[in-house]
Amino acid sequence: MDAIANPTALPAPLSNLTPEEQLLQETVRRFARNKIAPLVREMDEAQKMSPAIISQLFELGLMGIEIPQEYGGVGASFFSSILAVEEVSAVDPAVGVLVDVQNTLTVNALLRWGNHDQKQRYLPRMATDTICSYALSEAGSGSDAFALTATARADGEDYVLNGRKLWISNAAEAGLFIVFANINPGAGYKGITAFLVERSTPGFSVGKKEDKLGIRASSTCELLLDDCRVPAANILGEPGMGYKIAIETLNEGRIGIAAQLLGLATGAWTHALRYSQERRQFGKPISEFQAVRFALAEMATEIEASRLMVYNTARRKQSGLPFLKEAAMTKYFVSRVAERVASKAVEIFGGYGFVKDYPVEKLYRDAKIGSIYEGTSNMQLATIAKQVL
């Protein structure tokens, strides 16, 4: 079996999807199978996203799903972004990160808080050829995101940024960054401000690229701000509004991460199902043994529950309903499901599941990040507890 064999048992579109959503789902599924799948192992080993894949993502409109058509985007919905992330991640969760961060974090932030000039300048680029990265985390501010130490000092019509960002997804490929820095450290989190920083800005540089366990084709880098001069016109929202922007975009982003992990689990289950039907022991396929059948049934049940949670939370967000609790629950639950399903898939493959020649080894490595980034599992539980206790 080829290491990147295309999934063949992905679920059919749900009946409650609109015709437009079904078309998007089917289009992304075909693209992932035909274009991404042949490059998965190569990208993972090289720890580099294929430029050809990036170009095709833009050509298909998958990097600007919610960007209005007047700016060159697709003009579709948040839920459509979630469907796209899910389908891409069923083949390669590393590519899923690229699509997710672009749509659920950075595009969302520009659409909600960008002024007319900023939208005119950046949304057409983000729809056609520019990846945007989200730079909040630092070495000393992970779960405690607002303990960041990067500063921004007013100087005439500019701000001068200094500091270091860490764990920044898609940084190696990005041409635009939403960078969070504090313009008034004495005011604590109320001084945090979001800046739109172009890669070519003097004093800005992308530093070390992390050598990761999983999602290795997705770049994760540090950013260096050394007297980085940014026009005041590039403040996203208003001075001191950065904490609000960060909180609200990350709440939405967690739905995207859950969709990525849902896709991962579906891909792992699909590979395990097919292998169980092909692998024969004691004269029959191992899928006929009760232990394997029950394992696949349990995996399928958890995946279905995850899908319902992801879709429900995405619909709530899209409808303007409260979704803070649901997003935290979904991200927490689906990250656990992805780990369990990927682990069980490795076991069904047996010894073959432990080598790189087969696909589930990679998905098992990819799954671990789900309980860590965009809010650890403990932080999700803390959020849930505040909402229900």
pLDDT in tens, 3-17: 444 554 445 445 589
Q: Report whether pLDDT(352) > 60.
A: yes
pLDDT in tens, 256-292: 999 999 999 999 999 999 999 999 999 999 999 999 9
With 0-12 CB in 10 A as exposed, 13-18 as middle and 19+ as buried, what is 141? middle
Residue ranges per structural domain of the chain? 19-130, 133-241, 244-388
- Mean pLDDT on 128-132: 98
- The amino acid that residue 296 corresponds to is L
Q: What is the pLDDT of residue 2?
A: 45
Three-state DSSP state, 18: coil
Query: What pTM, to 2 d.p., does this model score?
Result: 0.95
Q: Report whether pLDDT(105) > 50.
A: yes
Percent of the chain with pLDDT over 70: 96
* CB proximity list for 154: less than 8 A, separation 6 or greater: 183, 232
Q: Between 360-367 and 324-349, two packed helices, what is the crossing angle to 10 degrees?
A: 150
Q: What is the pLDDT of residue 14?
A: 52
Q: Which CATH architecture has domain 244-388?
A: Up-down Bundle (1.20)
Q: What is the pLDDT of residue 144?
A: 87
Specify whether the CB–CB gap between 331 and 374 falls below 8 A. yes
Percent of the chain with pLDDT over 90: 94
Superfamily of domain 19-130 in CATH is Acyl-CoA dehydrogenase/oxidase, N-terminal domain (1.10.540.10)
What is the CATH number that goes with domain 133-241?
Answer: 2.40.110.10
DSSP β-ladder status, 132-135 and 176-182: parallel
Average pLDDT, the chain: 95
Nearest to 345 by CA among 365, 369, 325: 365
Q: What is the pLDDT of residue 13?
A: 46
Written as six digits, the tokens of 384 are: 């849930």
pLDDT in tens, 282-323: 999 999 999 999 999 999 999 999 999 999 999 999 999 999
* CB proximity list for 31: less than 8 A, separation 6 or greater: 56, 60, 88
Q: What is the pLDDT of residue 143?
A: 86
Which single residue is written with the structure tokens 């394992």?
295
374 tagged catalytic: yes
Using CA atoms, how far apart are residues 367 and 261, in angstroms rounded to an integer?
Answer: 7
- Mean pLDDT on 363-371: 98
Q: Which of 21, 252, 326, 374 is catalytic?
A: 374
Helix (H) or strand (E) holding 26, with range, is helix 19-31
Using CA atoms, how far apart are residues 197 and 213, in angstroms rounded to an integer?
Answer: 29
Residue 359 phi/psi, 5° resolution? -75, -25
- What DSSP string runs through 131-149? -EEEE--BTTBSSSGGG--
**Rounded (5°) CA angle 289-293-294:** 120
Q: Which residues of 210-228 are buried (b: 16+ CB within 10 A; e: fewer)?
A: eebebbbbbbbbbbbbeeb
Q: What is the pLDDT of residue 365?
A: 98
Residue 249 phi/psi, 5° resolution? -70, -35
Using CA atoms, how far apart are residues 320 and 38, in angstroms rounded to an integer?
Answer: 39
Written as six digits, the tokens of 321 are: 């309903």
Specify whether the CB–CB gap between 150 and 199 falls below 8 A. no
Q: What is the pLDDT of residue 16?
A: 81
Strand partners, 205: 224
Cα torsion 97, 22, 328, 165 to 10°: value is 20
Helix (H) or strand (E) holding 152, with range, is strand 151-155
